[in-house]
Amino acid sequence: MDFKQQVIAALEPTVSEFLSKEALMNVIEVPKSSDLGDYAFPTFQLAKSLHKAPQQIALDLVAKIDQTAFEKVVATGPYVNFFLNKQTFSEETLKTILKADQNYGDQDLGHGGNVPIDMSSPNIAKPISMGHLRSTVIGNAIAKILTKTGYHPIKINHLGDWGTQFGKLIVAYKKWGSEAAVREDPITNLLNYYVRFHKEDVAHPELDDEARAWFKKLEDGDQEATDLWQWFRSESLKEFQKIYQMLGVEFDSFNGEAFYNDKMAEVIDLLKAKNLLHESQGAEIVDLEKYGLNPALIQKSDGATLYMTRDLAAAIYRKRTYHFVQSLYVVGNEQSEHFQQLKAVLKEMGYNWADQIVHIPFGLITENGKKLSTRQGRVILLEEVLNDAIRLAKAQIKEKNPDLPNQDKVAKEVGVGAVIFHDLKNDRMDNFDFNLEEVVRFEGETGPYVQYTNARAQSILRKSSLSYTLDDALALTDDAAWDILKLLADYPEVIQRALKLYEPSVIAKYSLRLAKQFNKYYAHTRILVDDPQLNARLSLVKSVTIVLENALSLLGVASPQEM
Q: Are 410 and 560 in contact (CB under 8 A)?
A: yes
Q: Closer CB to ligand ARG, residue 165 or residue 553? A: 165
Minimum separation from the CB atom of position 160 to ligand ARG (A): 3
In this complex, which beta carbon is closest to ligand ARG, that of residue 331 or of residue 397? Answer: 331
Stretch that binds ligand ARG, among 27-35, 69-77, 119-127, 239-247 (CB under 6 A): 119-127
Check residue 121 and give left, alpha or beta (phi > 0: left; psi -120 to 50: alpha).
left
Least distance (Å) from ligand ARG to the CB of residue 341?
11
Q: Does 549 bind ligand ARG (CB under 6 A)?
A: no
Total binding residues toward ligand ARG, as defined by CB under 6 A: 10
CA–CA separation, 241 and 386 (whole Å): 14
Closer to ligand ARG by Cβ: residue 312 or 487:
312
Contact 349, 378 (CB under 8 A): no
Min separation Cβ 207 and ligand ARG, Å: 24
Burial class (CB in 10 A: 0-12, 13-18, 19+), 499: buried
* C-beta of 210 vs 257, nearer to ligand ARG: 257
Alpha carbon 87 to chain centroid distance? 36
Q: Nearest 5°: phi and psi at 559?
A: -120, 90
Q: Does residue 121 bind ligand ARG (CB under 6 A)?
A: yes
With CB under 6 A as the contact rule, which of the stretches 121-129, 276-284, 347-355, 483-491 interacts with ligand ARG?
121-129
Residue 319 interacts with ligand ARG (CB under 6 A)?
no
Spatial CA neighbour of 421 closest among 400, 451, 455: 451
In terms of CB distance, is 105 or 122 closer to ligand ARG?
122
The region of 98-106, 120-128, 208-216, 402-410 touching ligand ARG under the rule CB under 6 A is 120-128
Of the pair 94, 314, the CB lying nearest ligand ARG is at 314
Q: Nearer to ligand ARG by C-beta: 315 or 397?
A: 315
Smallest gap from Cβ 18 to ligand ARG, in A, equals: 48
Contacts for 434 with CB less than 8 Å, ≥ 6 apart? 130, 365, 366, 367, 380, 385, 422
Choices 12-20, 115-123, 175-183, 544-552 (CB under 6 A): range interacting with ligand ARG: 115-123
Q: Identify which of residues 218 and 481 has a Cβ nearer to ligand ARG in the complex.
A: 218
Q: Which is nearer to ligand ARG, 374 or 553 (CB)?
A: 374
Q: How far is the CB of 369 from ligand ARG (least distance, A)?
A: 22
User: Which candidate, 136, 128, 117, places its Cα nearest to that of 240?
Assistant: 128
Question: Are 340 and 295 within 8 A, CB to CB?
Answer: no
Nearest distance from residue 279's CB to ligand ARG, in Å? 25
Strands 365-367 and 370-371: antiparallel
Residue 520 CB partners (closer than 8 Å, separation 6+) = 480, 483
Residues 6+ apart with CB under 8 A from 287: 276, 278, 295
What is the rounded distance in angstroms from the CA atom of residue 191 to the CA atom of residue 181?
12
Whole-Å CA distances, 263 to 213, 269, 427: 22, 11, 37
Among the listed residues 43, 85, 90, 123, the single contact to ligand ARG using CB under 6 A = 123
* Residue 502 CB-half CA count within 13 A: 21
For residue 404, the minimal CB distance to ligand ARG (Å) is 39
Site for ligand ARG in 146-165 (CB under 6 A): 158, 160
Cβ atoms 361, 390 nearer than 8 A: no
Residue (89 or 329) nearer to ligand ARG, CB: 329
If the CB atoms of residues 85 and 123 are measured against ligand ARG, the closer one turns out to be 123
Q: Nearest residue by C-beta to ligand ARG?
A: 160
The 3-class SS string of 200-230 reads: HCCCCCHHHHHHHHHHHHHHCCCHHHHHHHH
Among 432, 413, 302, CA closest to 364: 432
Give CA separation, 306 vs 74, 268, 285, 497, in Å: 65, 12, 11, 37
What minimum distance in Å lies between the beta carbon of 368 and ligand ARG?
24
The 10 Å Cβ neighbour count of residue 247 is 20
What angle, 0 to 180 degrees and rounded to 10, lies between the N-to-C axes of helices 86-100 and 534-555?
Answer: 50
490 binds ligand ARG (CB under 6 A): no
H or E segment to which residue 279 belongs: strand 277-280
Question: Segment near ligand ARG (CB under 6 A), from 61-69, 85-93, 117-125, 543-551?
Answer: 117-125
Binding status of residue 177 toward ligand ARG by CB under 6 A: no
- Rounded to a whole number of angstroms, the minimum distance from the CB of residue 125 to ligand ARG is 12
Of the candidate spans 90-98, 118-126, 188-196, 231-239, the one that interacts with ligand ARG by CB under 6 A turns out to be: 118-126
| Region near ligand ARG per CB under 6 A, out of 114-122, 355-363, 367-375, 544-552 | 114-122
Fill in the per-residue mask, 272 to 311: x = in contact with ligand ARG (CB under 6 A), - = not in contact.
---------------------------------------x
Residue ranges in 329-368 that form contacts with ligand ARG under rule CB under 6 A: 329, 331
Interface residue list for ligand ARG (CB under 6 A): 118, 121-123, 158, 160, 311, 314, 329, 331
